[in-house]
Amino acid sequence: MLRPSAVTIMFRARTGGCSTASATVWIGLHGTPAASSSASHRAAGGGTSLKQAHDRIRKIAECLDDKGLAALRQARQAVGQMWPQLEVRGEASLREEVEKLKGLLAADDFYESLPAIGSAARTVVTAYFTLYAKAHAERAEQFQAAVEKIKGRAEWNAVPDTMRQPVLQPLTVRCCANQEQPEGSLVCKACSATLSQMESDLAALGGLFAQVVAQVQKLTTPPDMKVQRVRVSEFFGGAMEKEEQVRQAVARLQDHLLKLLDEGIKIVVE
């Protein structure tokens, strides 16, 4: 005698909405449940009839098709991975929608609420991808502008062709302009940058730009010539409230630069 095929139905427990318990149901040749009484009673609860248990199991199986499972995966990703990143960036307006989604996912009859779960999840997903796209575009724009600024420097033409790409690499590697985000992915396929990474890149742009300038100077300056980097901020530190303070700071900077030139030192102003 052939044994019926088995289908395992996963039920969400009420302990925090994360744990699951399972009941195995044997499906007969005509598609009707032929479950063992122990499995059916676990699925339905002690006081529920066998028929009600079978009906509930069949309902879950009908709801959790490929489309239903995809909706649940997206909802869990929205709550567990996207919302924390949105929350720390001030997207508080989504809190109510997220709490609603958490409640729907934690319910015993979550499978009855798949349309509502999908709708709430899409709200969070849309907000995340909007934020991500904005950060991705801003990073690409600012780093591309930095690349063009380097290429516009007078000494850039003296950089050997074979060295140009390596010199610009700290900037160009962050110029990912064509965002490509596969379904279910939180990051761009091309650059794999997270939101936090892109924010860190933008914060580090000034330092990376200075490194590239220094490399350009190194490649284009004769070995016997001294080079000194001068940070303008060192001469304009602190608050200035009077015109005389500005004049004094400019004078100090001018005197320092002229002194370096008199000593035959090439100056790189930052």
Q: pLDDT, tens digit, for every residue of 157-168?
A: 999 999 999 999
- Tell me which residue of 266, 260, 268 sits closest to 232, measured CA to CA: 268
Cβ atoms of 71 and 119 within 8 Å: the answer is no
Q: What is the Cα 158 distance to its own chain's centre?
A: 39
pTM exceeds 0.85, yes or no: no
Helix (H) or strand (E) holding 71: helix 66-77
Q: How big is the CA angle at 67 (ends 65 and 69), to the nearest 5 degrees?
A: 70
pLDDT at residue 48, rounded to an integer:
55
Helix (H) or strand (E) holding 201: helix 195-203
When the pLDDT of each residue in the chain is averaged and rounded to a whole number, the result is 80
Q: How far apart are CA 240 and CA 139, in angstroms?
A: 32
pLDDT at residue 204, rounded to an integer:
94
pLDDT at residue 66, rounded to an integer:
85
Stronger pLDDT, 16 or 160, i.e. the higher one: 160
Cβ atoms of 175 and 140 within 8 Å: the answer is yes
- Partners of 227 in beta bridges: 266
Stronger pLDDT, 235 or 142, i.e. the higher one: 142
pLDDT at residue 47, rounded to an integer:
52
- Tell me which residue of 117, 137, 240, 227 sits closest to 179, measured CA to CA: 137
Q: How big is the CA angle at 234 (ends 229 and 239), to the nearest 5 degrees?
A: 155
Confidence of residue 116 (pLDDT cuts 50, 70, 90): very high
DSSP 49: -
Confidence of residue 222 (pLDDT cuts 50, 70, 90): confident
Q: Which of 2-16, 150-164, 234-248 has the highest mean pLDDT?
A: 150-164
Report the chain's C-alpha Rg in angstroms: 31
pLDDT at residue 138, rounded to an integer:
97
Stronger pLDDT, 216 or 39, i.e. the higher one: 216
pLDDT digits (tens, 9 = 90+) for 26-54: 333 233 344 444 444 444 445 557 877 77
Q: CA distances (Å), 40 to each of 10, 22, 107, 112, 259, in order?
A: 13, 11, 20, 19, 91
DSSP 83: H
* Residue with the two structure tokens 């319910």: 107
pLDDT at residue 31, rounded to an integer:
35
* Residue with the two structure tokens 């997207």: 91
Q: What residues does each domain of the chain span?
A: 5-63, 70-133, 224-270
Question: Does pLDDT of 154 surpass 60?
Answer: yes
pLDDT at residue 97, rounded to an integer:
94
Question: Does pLDDT of 11 surpass 90?
Answer: no
Mean pLDDT of 69-87: 94
Question: Does pLDDT of 10 surpass 80?
Answer: no
Question: Does pLDDT of 8 surpass 60?
Answer: no
pLDDT at residue 4, rounded to an integer:
41
Measured in residues, the chain has a length of 270
Strands 265-269 and 226-230: what pairing? parallel
Cβ atoms of 99 and 83 within 8 Å: the answer is no
Q: At 7, is the secondary structure helix, strand, or coil? A: strand
